[in-house]
Amino acid sequence: MTTPPEAPSGVIHDIGYRGYRGPRLGRGYATRSLFTQSLRAAFGLGRSAKSKVLPMLMLAALLLPAGVVVAVAVLNQADHLATDYPQYLSGVGLLFIEIFTAAQAPVLLSRDLRFHTVPLYFSRPITRGDYVRAKCAAMVCALLVVTVLPLLVLFLGAVLAGLDLGHQSAHFAFGLLAALLYSVVFAAVGLLLSAATPRRGFGVAAIMGVLVVSQAVAKVLYELAGGHYQAGDGAAAWVYLLSPAGLVDRLVNQVCGLTPEFLGTPGPLGTLAFAAAVPAIAAGAYGLLLRRYRKI
């Protein structure tokens, strides 16, 4: 007579796991954490040494010329800096700001799309709106860092050189306005294009193409319209609505009255149109980003 097989039995092992009984920090904490992590990622912090090279090079490329301008003013005992604060960003620093935007905006969005980590974010309390807000705020703040720091070097150098404090303070404020506008507009353009592709290389090429090519096209159209030779109301300057960089430069010049002889915008109507274009670009890009992430 055969013995029936014994029924399988299981053993429960206590390996020390315990349920979490601490505070639930919620959406706000998660959104702030995502913002902090994204801001650090924009400068390669917390990542490999290779990831830090380009953002730090761009930051150095913006700071070193500012130091040279200050040194020349001090050595020559000049009564003014060789360049004004907004003109430093639109002239010396513009290409480096564009490269920083093109290189780092895809870091914030394209990598999440490529490695399919976006659904992991949304599995937590964070919403799609929280994700977009955190990324936009991080990119704007990263651009503010690279645009404001060289202006701060210029201002502190001018003060130490004994230049007129009132004049320098007023024009430093103009520079801060330009830095804010560049940061908002470039972040909007860069993030919108980055969200369109999971490939970082395609995002970099698209952003540089839009920022650089649009600026070149606007300059050509401005010259063809006789902008530098106009004696009228500066109607040719409307073409700079096609260029994010030209839009900010002309708007700051006109609003702050930095170069009254330069026909930056076509009169008061043009100034209003240029001023309205900045929030329109930011709001449009934000809305399209929200729409893009509703499908993920």
The tens digit of pLDDT for each residue in 259-283 reads: 644 455 567 787 888 999 999 999 9
Q: Which residue has the higher pLDDT, 5 or 239?
A: 239
Structural domain including 281 reads 26-294
Structural domain contains residue 9: no
Structural domain contains residue 21: no
**pLDDT tens digits, one per residue of 78-126:** 888 888 999 999 988 899 999 999 999 999 998 888 888 888 888 778 8
Structural domain contains residue 280: yes
Structural domain contains residue 63: yes
Structural domain contains residue 84: yes
- Provide the H-helix boundaries in the chain: 26-42, 49-75, 85-87, 94-114, 118-122, 128-160, 165-194, 200-208, 214-224, 244-256, 267-294
Structural domain contains residue 17: no
Structural domain contains residue 154: yes
Share of the chain above pLDDT 90, in %: 51
Count up the domains in the chain and report the number.
1
Q: How far apart are alpha carbons 145 and 139 in whole angstroms?
A: 10
Angstrom distances, CA of residue 225 to CA of 9, 229, 232, 283, 292 = 88, 9, 12, 30, 38
Contact between residue 51 and residue 133 where contact means Cβ atoms under 8 Å apart: no
Structural domain contains residue 4: no
